[in-house]
Structure 1
Amino acid sequence: MTLKRRAFLQRASLALGALGVGGSAWLTTYSRYQVALARHARRRLALLIGINAYPDRALHPGVAQDIALKGCVTDVELQRQLLVHRFGFQPADVVTVTNQEATRASILTAIDEHLVQQAQADDVVLLHFSGYGSQVRVIEAEDVGTLQAAWVTVDSRLPSETNPALGDLLEAEVVAHLGPLATANLTTVIDAGSQDVGYLRWGNSRVRSRPTVPTGLVPLPPEISPLETFPPETSLPLNAPWPGLVLRAAEMGRLVLESQWDGFSAGVFTYALTQSLWETEPDSTAKVLIQRAGSRLQRWVGADQQPGLSDRRPARSGPMAYGLSPQLPPAAGVLLPSSEGRPLTAWLGGMPPQVLRYLQPGSCLVAGIDEGASLLRLETRTGLKASVKSLEGEVTPATLPNQPLFEQVRRLPQTIDLVVALDSQLKRVERVDATSALAGIPLVTAVTAGEKVADCLFGRLPIGPAPTLTAALPSAGEAQPKAGGDARGDSQGGERLAESSYGLFAPNRTLLPGTMLAKEEAVKTAVNRLTPYLQTLLALKLVRLTENHAASRVGAAALLEAVQPKPLPLLVQLTERSPNVTWPLAIRQAQRLATDDPIMLPRDGRIGYRLANVSTHPLHLLWISFDSRGECTALMTLPSAIAADGAEVPPVATPLEPGQLITLPADGAGWAMPGAATWVEAYVVLSTQPLDQCLAVLGDDPPSLATGFRPVPQPLQLAQALLQDLSNSSDEESKPAPDYYALHHDRWATLSFRYAIA
């Protein structure tokens, strides 16, 4: 959709309330959009490549596994919908090459014909690849030991004596083909790996890298016979750097995964990246974007996969991700075009996946940002698409397509389980015993690893000095594919390693600290020992379902800051759709000074929070924190100035009044790091209604802003009480059904913080 400047400004003035900022602030924030409109003649070209359906010969003829990937074509669709609907690409300018189309020759031809030959100076170009990656050794390289990164195409094959040329598409070849590109505004996204771990599965995820390292000659151009000598004048520069901005799922030699979600699979990096781009502001830099994507990766699959960035764009191109300002505000998705008589279809690529997984029919969305916005009800959902129905009578489909979607009411089931995947390398009797033992824990479900999306993994680890499976596995040498298909089992010598006790892992098999013993134990004994940790994981899962900084209309902000050893703002979270607010000076200053890097705090450091209420209602607070040890702590405000026992409640412990800015802890001395924890995930919940159920769970003398936080002996009960409190704030006429929570985004805000401890 293209708007003239005047039309854009008219719509902008109507959109201020929905966007959650005052008029002058909104125009300042979106000034780059106006610049983009003034230069609307810039063409946007994209080539998106995704391969799921690989033949056996592409990896290794002896691989006794299902080698097909599941999420690469989804990656293409995630990018396509984002580019068309948020960044203004014309659908005809977004070319997709998938599965059997994605041969080596077809990819290079598409790069030449769609990108190189069509792009002009200052045009915007995006190239994306999702599939298997590989490390290859080039015989004629100056340093034969140096490994080169390559993409495995659908017609790839391993070198042989009769045909020693490498069958993969070397990244150096792609760089060479992009050399004549007329624009410097190029972004390349690579969601493929090159770690030769020797396996295609990693816990509950799939590995996107070939499990072997082939050695061969540089592939020849099509016009040269394989039997001829490669002409020296056409030698391929193997070390030429990538032009433009490159966003990688991981650096070369590191792990790259794809995972299952509810109804679809996707590359964890592409999903995290596009999620971040759906919510990014116009002035967000590529560095900020990659940090946000990295935070999502860590939450979803652990710390093993770390995204990478290189930026060789000229300074004049600006720091913006994808080289463009978004043409829609941050949103949960977009309403797709539909023909007359067809149901309205929503694309929910910006919806947080933990929420999408449990979003129920009856949830409400708002389409549009002006006074003509329409209220929609979710009817059904399959994967990332949903069928929606207007709640305001009949609508003409032609009036709604391409409108951004925002959450209005989040409807969730009251029964939500913790899904525990059983390591496929456990013996059959171990899996049977684990299934039986886990079945005895309320709200815990056991599944086979890889069967469906899981919250954690139950398994064992080869005994050794490495605390994570990444370090325990061989990473050097050319490991041959293992028939078992998972990232455990035999040692390099063929003998089964001695094993530890049972423990819990993130879905990608990063060990959860404190869940494993150094001695053998029975499966049922281990499950009984781990039950409190499992219940805390479920509590964390439920609290995560309340996070809504991008959807809440309650004016609130929270600042995490270091107090010692040096005062420093670390991270600011605020509600992005709260109407017509002016943020306090302290929050605005912190936004400018807060770090973009992942937060790593020293063990002897101290932290604090500042919370701002810029709404028109008093806000009731619950601060709840989880750490890597499975510990939960909390504090909250008390709903009135007189406690249940008649004692006077200190003013510091009462709800935040409109316009109030408070400090946690109140004395400003900060809180110390929690024990031996290696990470902390904290949530600031602010509600327009009292949190009575939470108060009941925390007892007669609940931890408050006056007393400081305390350990929570029953974190699962507190998380369930929180959902009940937020649902109880609904109007009487719109009370949820007994089996569901109905959370209205104009009545609460949950802001999240995560940091690591050195």
Structure 2
Amino acid sequence: MSTIKRRHFLQFAGSTFATLALSQFDIITKSNRYAQVLAKDTPRKLALLVGVNNYPNSERFTNLEGCTTDVDLQEQLLIHRFGFNPKDIIKLTSDESADKQPTRKNILTTFEEHLIKQAKPGDVVVFHFSGHGSRFSETSDTVRNCRKNELNSTLVPGDDGEGRVTDIMGRTLFLLMSALKTENVTAVLDSCFSGGGTRGNFRIRSVSGDGFSPSTEEIEFQKRLMKDLGLSEPELAQKRCEGVAKGVVIASAQKDELAADAPFSGFSAGAFTYLMTQYLWHNSGNVESAIAKISPTLKSSYNQFPLGDGNQSQRFYFINQQSLPTDAVITKSNGNQVTLWLGGWEGGSLDSFEKGAVLNILDSQGKPAGKVKGVSRDGLVGKAIVEKKELKVAPQSGMLLQEFSRAIPTDLKLHIGIDSSLAGELADITKALTKIKRIKAVNPGSGNIPYTDKVHYILGKMTVEYYRQFQQEGLKDIPKVGSIGLFTQGFQPLDKSLFSQPGETVTKVIDNWEAKIKSLLAVHILKKTLNANSSLLDVEVGMNLVEQKSQTIARVATVRSANNQRQVRQSKTGNLPLNKLFEFQVTNRTNHNLYITMLLIDSTGDIILIFPYQWPANEQSMRLAAGQTTVIGNPEELELKALKKGSGEALLIASRLPLKNAVKTLSALAAERGLRNQPIDLKGEVGAIDDLLSDLSGDRAGGLITSEDKSKSMEVRQMATLSLSFEVG
């Protein structure tokens, strides 16, 4: 019997996140409301979408990059997924004409004219704001007492303030929503109120409200709305204490968290808006699946957690959506060339699109009616060539597409940004990092541009300033001042164990960490195969305590399988108690055998293979028969136990093809290390991951790195990679 201890298989990072105002279940329930709200058969669906990239050139404001993209993300989703008429969507963004700029006047006037005056009982209304947020002092003693908060959040329009404040207060938004004649209202706010500027590779959507007060114009506007609604000050205060005015309000972050304006693959967007809309292209069930899917990424990569408030019975967007899961939509067709919106494509593998990804065109019945092949991409806009073979319908704007195969580049690199705290050693650091195969060093940028290229991690020194900042944020177990270590994109220490002792040279640190950096590269490569939203294999993995088999802690399943096209099995993320034996149950619901492997990834990027674990292994030991369930973590053979609080992730990889190259490499590693009945630590073993990906692509020669091909094609009908996230403690 093999007992897996913390040092052997998984380090759970100590949680650095504050206690949430709502439980995860509450937020999940509210998120679900947003997804289901938008599909209901309603007389009319109206939307006002606001995105503010450009702000006045002053100390209070910094320009943002992704807010207009957020508006595009919502617009395409509402039209092609939830059936909004484009004429019923008004956009106010920094990219629009002068009369459509996101000024205070335009936002308030359009809200009244487009939403309040037009919406009737039963209609659906969506208001989205992406931009800076701020806070003023709360003027109502009643509200201060009931909310235990001295501040009132604001939305910052794109006006040139000229010394005056144009903020729209949360109190004003409450009054505007109260004036709507429908209860089916969703407000999505991708902004925050906790610091601003840049953080790591992100811009922060917040500006200081210190020393500022609501404008006279704002106060008078509120008085006029109160008069129209027949509300006195005490009545308004009481209603605000009771909750949102109508429908649901979803914020991208808690009141003391940051909301990231983040760079992705060739574009910037609000991290929350991108992940939320991407989820909604594939799912319309309860929001438990939505939050379970996006929250681990938001927490680990962006240090933010979404917050929902409103009527518990409502669903996302108030619409019962029945559309098929979708990866892309045709926005323009010209002969054998089509332009696609890739809002539903797996974000971590967007760079696979232009390498030769293939998508199925769906007909009006949701059946494949032809294929297109990706040839180029600009952010979320892709260009593709129509493959004439098997084409049954002429491609037209509005047609939905689903992934058939993706092309994983063979030259994937891990980008490590160099923080300004190490600016004096750029040359030495670059030389040391680039000695490691497939690692790219990225220099710091200037001004409002944090880095000259995308980054996956940041190498920096813990300065006194950084240390104090982390102390103020309540971070525990902060690395020592003067130590050198790895940070996330959002500049959170990755793990204290990934920091040196003060005084060590940076080149020595990099040399000592070569295996660790290779592990981070391997995880980066593995995650390019994640396809729970697009795989056609019907696979599910659940996690439970050995002593409580009927109580699922975490669960994830594929979305698009033939048995699961419209009735999505909900994902779930829960808490794993410390020092308790746990196990995974993997179910193959297909009518053919599958070959599986399972890995655990700890907080430092180390990879532990927990299935297979009996060596030497062969193809048959990895086989899961059709319709069968296998248990990984049966205590008679393997003990899995968490010994430290934090977060964890498990990856399940399933394939219709035997994993010949991988099992050969893994068996050799086990023999080399003298292992018989225990998992394998794959630290630094990028080659094993390459062989696994070669198996998934059907390449029997193996060796992804040495292949002359520029990419490996993986079909969604042949393989599935599922990520299962969970909290410990």
Provide TM-score, normalisation by structure 1. Answer: 0.79
Q: Which among 259, 262, 265 is matched to residue 256 of structure 1?
A: 259
Q: Which residue of 2 aligns with 1:48?
A: 49
Q: Which residue of 2 aligns with 1:266?
A: 269
| 1:512–1:565 Cα change, 3 Å | farther
Distance 1:700 1:233 in 2: 76
Amino acid at match of 2:207: R
Shift of 1:729: 5.1
Q: Which SS does the other structure have where 1:334 is aligned?
A: strand
Q: Which among 653, 673, 682 is matched to residue 712 of structure 1?
A: 682
Query: Aligned pairs, how many?
Result: 661
**How do 1:329-728 residues align onto structure 2 when only pairs under 5 Å count?**
329-338=324-333, 340-341=334-335, 343-368=337-362, 370-371=366-367, 373-392=369-388, 399-424=395-420, 426-447=421-442, 448=444, 449-462=450-463, 470-472=470-472, 499-513=481-495, 514-564=497-547, 568-580=551-563, 596=572, 598-636=573-611, 653-667=621-635, 671-674=639-642, 676=644, 678-700=646-668, 702=670, 707-728=677-698
Please give the per-residue CA displacement for 1:50-109, whole angstroms capped at 9, x wherever unaligned.
01011124x53xx7xxx2100000000000000100111111111101126111111011
Amino acid at match of 2:156: V
Distance 2:427 2:616 in 1: 51
Distance 2:423 2:622 in 1: 55
| 1:381–1:743 Cα change, 3 Å | same
Distance 1:580 1:757 in 2: 32
70-79 or 680-689, which moves further after superposition?
680-689
455-464 or 271-280, which moves further after superposition?
455-464
Q: Which residue of 2 aligns with 1:191?
A: 190
Shift of 1:46: 0.7
Shift of 1:552: 1.4
Q: Which among 272, 275, 285 is matched to residue 283 of structure 1?
A: 285
Distance 2:675 2:627 in 1: 18
Shift of 1:353: 1.2
264-273 or 690-699, which moves further after superposition?
690-699
Q: Which SS does the other structure have where 1:728 is aligned?
A: coil
Q: Which SS does the other structure have where 2:545 is aligned?
A: strand
715-724 or 78-87, which moves further after superposition?
715-724
Distance 1:219 1:119 in 2: 29
Asked whether the equivalents of residues 516 and 683 of structure 2 are also in contact (C-alpha less than 8 Å), the reply is: no
Shift of 1:332: 1.1
Distance 2:181 2:207 in 1: 34
Please give the per-residue CA displacement for 1:32-52, whole angstroms capped at 9, x wherever unaligned.
999999x74521111100010
323-332 or 43-52, which moves further after superposition?
323-332
Asked whether the equivalents of residues 638 and 654 of structure 1 are also in contact (C-alpha less than 8 Å), the reply is: no
Asked whether the equivalents of residues 597 and 622 of structure 2 are also in contact (C-alpha less than 8 Å), the reply is: no
Shift of 1:238: 6.6
**How do 1:125-140 residues align onto structure 2 when only pairs under 5 Å count?**
125-137=125-137
Asked whether the equivalents of residues 730 and 742 of structure 1 are also in contact (C-alpha less than 8 Å), the reply is: no
Shift of 1:427: 4.5
Shift of 1:472: 4.3
Shift of 1:599: 2.6
| 1:156–1:184 Cα change, 3 Å | farther
Shift of 1:209: 0.2
Asked whether the equivalents of residues 613 and 678 of structure 2 are also in contact (C-alpha less than 8 Å), the reply is: no
Shift of 1:330: 1.4
Q: Which residue of 2 aligns with 1:242?
A: 244
Asked whether the equivalents of residues 258 and 268 of structure 1 are also in contact (C-alpha less than 8 Å), the reply is: yes
**How do 1:119-130 residues align onto structure 2 when only pairs under 5 Å count?**
119-130=119-130
Distance 1:372 1:332 in 2: 13
Distance 1:374 1:455 in 2: 36
Shift of 1:213: 2.0
- For the aligned residues, what is the CA RMSD? 3.9
Distance 1:171 1:225 in 2: 11
Distance 1:171 1:757 in 2: 35
Amino acid at match of 2:68: V
| 1:737–1:88 Cα change, 3 Å | farther
Q: Which SS does the other structure have where 2:483 is aligned?
A: strand
Distance 2:613 2:206 in 1: 53
Please give the per-residue CA displacement for 1:122-153, whole angstroms capped at 9, x wherever unaligned.
11111000000001236787869821101111
Q: Which residue of 2 aligns with 1:72?
A: 67
| 1:158–1:35 Cα change, 3 Å | closer
| 1:498–1:550 Cα change, 3 Å | closer
| 1:643–1:535 Cα change, 3 Å | closer
Provide TM-score, normalisation by structure 2. Answer: 0.82
Asked whether the equivalents of residues 515 and 684 of structure 2 are also in contact (C-alpha less than 8 Å), the reply is: no
Amino acid at match of 1:440: K
Q: Which residue of 2 aligns with 1:11?
A: none
Asked whether the equivalents of residues 53 and 154 of structure 1 are also in contact (C-alpha less than 8 Å), the reply is: yes
Please give the per-residue CA displacement for 1:441-472, whole angstroms capped at 9, x wherever unaligned.
11110112432321111112235997x95444
536-545 or 397-406, which moves further after superposition?
397-406
Q: Which residue of 2 aligns with 1:491?
A: none
Distance 2:139 2:564 in 1: 63
Q: Which residue of 2 aligns with 1:180?
A: 179
**How do 1:19-58 residues align onto structure 2 when only pairs under 5 Å count?**
40-57=41-58
Asked whether the equivalents of residues 367 and 405 of structure 1 are also in contact (C-alpha less than 8 Å), the reply is: yes
Asked whether the equivalents of residues 414 and 438 of structure 2 are also in contact (C-alpha less than 8 Å), the reply is: yes
Please give the per-residue CA displacement for 1:303-344, whole angstroms capped at 9, x wherever unaligned.
x2111111236x4xxx42111122421121212243x55831
Please give the per-residue CA displacement for 1:465-504, whole angstroms capped at 9, x wherever unaligned.
97x95444699xxxxxxxxxxxx9xxxxxxxx99331100
Q: Structure 1: which 5+ runs fail to align?
A: 1-31, 476-487, 489-496
Q: Which residue of 1 aligns with 2:198?
A: 201
Asked whether the equivalents of residues 335 and 344 of structure 1 are also in contact (C-alpha less than 8 Å), the reply is: yes
Asked whether the equivalents of residues 557 and 572 of structure 1 are also in contact (C-alpha less than 8 Å), the reply is: yes
Please give the per-residue CA displacement for 1:198-237, whole angstroms capped at 9, x wherever unaligned.
x4000111110004523324542598999xxx9x998695
- Identical columns (%): 25
Q: Which residue of 1 aligns with 2:712?
A: 741
Amino acid at match of 1:247: I
Shift of 1:117: 0.7
Asked whether the equivalents of residues 200 and 211 of structure 1 are also in contact (C-alpha less than 8 Å), the reply is: no
Shift of 1:172: 0.9
Distance 1:33 1:465 in 2: 39
| 1:441–1:154 Cα change, 3 Å | same
Amino acid at match of 2:176: H
Asked whether the equivalents of residues 298 and 305 of structure 1 are also in contact (C-alpha less than 8 Å), the reply is: yes
Asked whether the equivalents of residues 665 and 705 of structure 1 are also in contact (C-alpha less than 8 Å), the reply is: no
Asked whether the equivalents of residues 665 and 708 of structure 1 are also in contact (C-alpha less than 8 Å), the reply is: no
Shift of 1:580: 4.6
Amino acid at match of 1:753: L
| 1:342–1:156 Cα change, 3 Å | farther
Please give the per-residue CA displacement for 1:692-742, whole angstroms capped at 9, x wherever unaligned.
22123213475999934232244322211111111225999xxx9622111
Asked whether the equivalents of residues 626 and 680 of structure 1 are also in contact (C-alpha less than 8 Å), the reply is: yes
Distance 2:565 2:72 in 1: 37
Q: Which SS does the other structure have where 2:113 is aligned?
A: helix
Q: Which residue of 2 aligns with 1:5?
A: none
Q: Which SS does the other structure have where 2:372 is aligned?
A: strand
Distance 2:294 2:564 in 1: 28
Asked whether the equivalents of residues 561 and 609 of structure 1 are also in contact (C-alpha less than 8 Å), the reply is: yes
| 1:559–1:721 Cα change, 3 Å | same
91-100 or 235-244, which moves further after superposition?
235-244
Distance 2:221 2:274 in 1: 40
239-248 or 695-704, which moves further after superposition?
695-704
574-583 or 710-719, which moves further after superposition?
574-583
Shift of 1:183: 0.6
Q: Which residue of 1 aligns with 2:90?
A: 95
